[in-house]
Amino acid sequence: MNMPDKIVIIHGFLSTPRHHWFRWLKEQLEKQGTQVILPSMPSPRAPCPDRWLSHLKACVPAPSRRTWFIAHSLGCITLMRYLASLGEGVSVGGAMLVAGFAEPVAGFPELDRFTLEQIDYGRLKKSVGRLVALRSLNDEVVPPDLTQTLSRSLSAELYSFPAAGHFREQDGFIQFPALLDMLNDYRYVTE
């Protein structure tokens, strides 16, 4: 069984690679022999869309069909902008969007700049082998309807968790075995 060349995990607003389930997932994947990139996105307390996109491009300059992405919350919209910016003929294995959104989130006006620029969903879908969205039905940060709308725009498979909050440490997510299992199932099927 061939392993993907790399998996990229992108954190969100007010977060770092040390928070939530990110480090745990990285360690689990590395135990499987997978290269993992877990970038520290710039200024997570005062994020700038262009700086986040530039940083992601610098961290992953040459993705391939053997590259998978996992993003959380604000990391999702950054990832979508990145994927939509890939050149013709460049494609990746897949993307898993946890509590993603592509429109303004009530109570977080500082993030509106991330949603101003329309995402070219058609181009994005052409560059990604498999798109999966995960939402929690009791998410009080990103309303679950926003993730559902995003999954429809992307024609992504949508998985709903009944009580996962925003998939953060304070919601009990220092590990995320269900995500690891899904990722392993998907990436081996698409090889």
CA distance 168 to 20: 5
CATH H-level, domain 6-189: superfamily? Alpha/Beta hydrolase fold, catalytic domain (3.40.50.1820)
Section 141-153 average pLDDT: 98
Report residue 151: phi and psi, to 5°.
Answer: -65, -35
Cα gap 112→150, rounded to integer Å: 16
- 71: number of Cβ within 10 Å: 25
Give pLDDT, residue 88: 87
- Decide: residue 51, CB within 10 A, 0-12 exposed, 13-18 middle, 19+ buried: middle
Question: Cα 44 from chain centroid?
Answer: 15
For residue 1, what pLDDT is reported? 44
**What does residue 52 show for φ and ψ, rounded to 5 degrees?**
-65, -45
CA-nearest of 178, 158, 154, 155 to 167 is 178
Q: Tens digits of per-residue pLDDT, 18-52? A: 999 999 999 999 999 999 999 999 999 999 999 99
- Would the pLDDT of 2 be above 80? no
pLDDT confidence band for 189 (50 / 70 / 90): low
